Structure 1
Amino acid sequence: MLKSKFSLLRAALACCALALGLASQAHAQTKVRLGVTPIGDYITAWVAKDQGIFAKHGLDVTLQTVAISPMAAAGLMSGSLDLATPTAVDLIQAVDSGLDLVAISSVGVLAKTTGTRSGVLVRPDVEVKKPADYAGKKIAQASLGGMLHVLFRNHLLENGVDPAKVNDVEIGVPSHFDALKGRSVDAVVTADPMLSRILATRTGTQVVSLADTVPADTVTGLVASTRTYAQKNPAVITAFRAAWKEATALVIADHALTRSTIVKHLKLPEPVAASLTMPLSVTTEVTPKQLQWWADVMRKQNMLRGKVEPQSLIAR
């Protein structure tokens, strides 16, 4: 009996120690507000949250939805977000406008053969055989001046087509399927998972993959902060990068987990999630060379006013 009591006492003490340890760990976690655009490219954020990876690295991360990526910079500058997920185009344009933002990590690159695809899809009854055929067509863009729009205009310019001859209209990616099916547009410039849904239902056919129009490893999304936040919170930046890298590796390795997380948080039907090509083209590295390419393309489209120094756009 005495031995049994001692065993129970030791078990109780162990539970108390564990509880105290967990309480101490929770208390030590730093709160971080991360703004995320609800598309497949940023699924790493939800995986890191759901699987306790942020917590493991001492971060209590609250995920806040950012409807469209250009709004990420506004959230950072207003102080309502600590970190956010702008595209490379958003970051460069924000800095060119006088906002002092820096990239913390990369989210992904344009996929050549696997991962998140992007491209131009046309209605089955619309004929586009060459870039010049876009002239006069009504084309849905997720965001005028956004990343996909910039890539599309770059494709036109590289093939001698004046982008002004195309009738671009701003329609959010979630509405691209309906826009094509309802014949309100001739084509959409879109990305997975919407691209996969349109192809699977034969609502549109793909004319070109945007990944085929750019250099390999062209960076897409970023995780960014204000320079002031990064300088004042170096430990947070270090911890976040470590957590992001770990979660990215998990996204690449565990396709079933990635798909289930997409279904759960992006509300994508399971058959559509199952059709996504894996692994997603996710990465954590971002280089000045990658940002320089974007700056050069944007300058050709008269989107920049001053000189942008790519090496200064990455937090050290």
Structure 2
Amino acid sequence: MRRKIPLIVTAAAVAVALAACATPSGASPDSSSSATGGRQAVTVGVIPIVDVAPIYLGVQEGIFARHGLDVTLELADGGAAIVPAVVKGDYQFGFSNVTSLLMASNQGEPLKIVAPGNFSTGQDGVDFSAVVAPGDSDIATAADLAGRTVSVNSLNNIGDTTVRNVVDASGGDPAAVEFVEMPFPEMLPALKGGQVDAAWVVEPHLTTAVQQGAKIISSNFAQTDHDLLVAAYFTSDQTLEQDPETVAAFTAAVKESLTYAQDHPDETRAVLDTYTEIDPVVKSVMVMPRFAADIEPTYLQVLADLGLKYGLFDKPVDVTKLLVQEPAQ
């Protein structure tokens, strides 16, 4: 499954981080199937984050093999590398956050979501994403973030749009929040040093922040929508048209893996050790995303509407363009 990388980010935001692609296998499915026991070889671009634990677990448990697939998981630093690799056919499938996929589709990229990636837990105060502030800060609610500086790892994406949303819902002025872009590992030192007033962090950084004395101001994902779909697996229109059977097999295997991961939380945490490096104490107590197999247009619409409201899109986004259409009966 390639190299192990220290976990420093989560799909909630890294999908637009500028990064070089991991080296693609370059092998076509037909040329490699004979070397994989008759199974179809596919390459999936993923990010070294907690959100993709189910696909690693599915490979480990033989779920993909039972669906006739031999999966290579290629680690990339962000979705900005994965999207073009999927479009070009270097990867048959990829993983990215939903806002980034909506933006790519809106810009004309020929993509289709085939399965969910991960969801918010839906529990305020017990989610894998939150805005934190120093323990002695006078920031008490999301409304208090107006007029303050808040770090996000990527501007104009799922982080700042959901933070604006909770500020708005709490009675604050979302336009008055000043967002500062920085990598997640730099946020806690910046928070301690007073360079920012608050930080949007995700696991495992959220648990570390709380252990170091920070307080949770808002669970921005859970407070935006209890069923917020954060990320998804996707393919290209070309792959779907040329090899629908492989897409169907991959979709079924991912969904089975998501269900297995949700039903086996200890195994899901354990598989993180195969591709990330997280402090064992943090890993044992941090909040994992919710994993589920179902996907509906309404899940995408939440973030599409927020993107329109806060200026990511200049017109409504047709979310159905991103979904695989069922054949007419």
- The TM-score bracket by the shorter chain reads 0.7 to 0.9
Deviation at 1:227, TM superposition (A): 1.4
- Which residue identity lines up with residue 56 of structure 1 in the other structure? R
Task: Describe the shift of the 1:262–1:180 C-alpha distance in structure 2 as closer, same or farther (beyond 3 A).
Answer: farther
Deviation at 1:25, TM superposition (A): 8.5
C-alpha contact 2:116 2:294 (8 A) present in aligned 1: yes
CA radius of gyration, larger in? 1
- After the TM superposition, which residues 193-272 of structure 1 pair with which residues of structure 2 at under 5 Å, given as runs? 193-202=204-213, 204-272=214-282
Question: Does residue 292 in structure 1 map to residue 301 in structure 2?
Answer: yes
Task: Describe the shift of the 1:307–1:164 C-alpha distance in structure 2 as closer, same or farther (beyond 3 A).
Answer: closer
- Which residue identity lines up with residue 173 of structure 1 in the other structure? F
Residue 56 of structure 2 corresponds to 46
* 2:96 counterpart SS class: coil
How far apart, CA to CA, are the structure 2 residues paired with 1:42 and 1:116? 16
C-alpha contact 2:116 2:233 (8 A) present in aligned 1: yes
How far apart, CA to CA, are the structure 1 residues paired with 2:173 and 2:123? 29
How far apart, CA to CA, are the structure 2 residues paired with 1:80 and 1:181? 42
How far apart, CA to CA, are the structure 1 residues paired with 2:222 and 2:316? 28
Residue 176 of structure 2 corresponds to 165
* 2:37 counterpart SS class: helix
**Greater helix share, 1 or 2?**
1
Unaligned runs of 5+ residues in structure 2 are 1-32
Q: TM-score, normalised by structure 2?
A: 0.81
- Which residue identity lines up with residue 108 of structure 1 in the other structure? N
How far apart, CA to CA, are the structure 1 residues paired with 2:186 and 2:62? 33
Which range moved further: 223-232 or 245-254?
245-254
- Which residue identity lines up with residue 304 of structure 1 in the other structure? F
1:127-176 C-alpha deviation (Å, 9 max, x unpaired): 21233422332211021122122111222233454434222111222333
Aligned residues: 292
How far apart, CA to CA, are the structure 2 residues paired with 1:287 and 1:294? 13
Question: Does residue 93 in structure 1 map to residue 103 in structure 2?
Answer: yes
Which range moved further: 93-102 or 168-177?
168-177
Residue 314 of structure 2 corresponds to 305
* 1:86 counterpart SS class: strand
14, 27, 30: which one pairs with 2:40?
A: 30
Task: Describe the shift of the 1:113–1:157 C-alpha distance in structure 2 as closer, same or farther (beyond 3 A).
Answer: closer
How far apart, CA to CA, are the structure 2 residues paired with 1:32 and 1:259? 25
Q: Which runs of 4+ in 1 moved over 4 A?
A: none
- Which residue identity lines up with residue 148 of structure 2 in the other structure? K
How far apart, CA to CA, are the structure 1 residues paired with 2:43 and 2:127? 25
Deviation at 1:81, TM superposition (A): 2.1
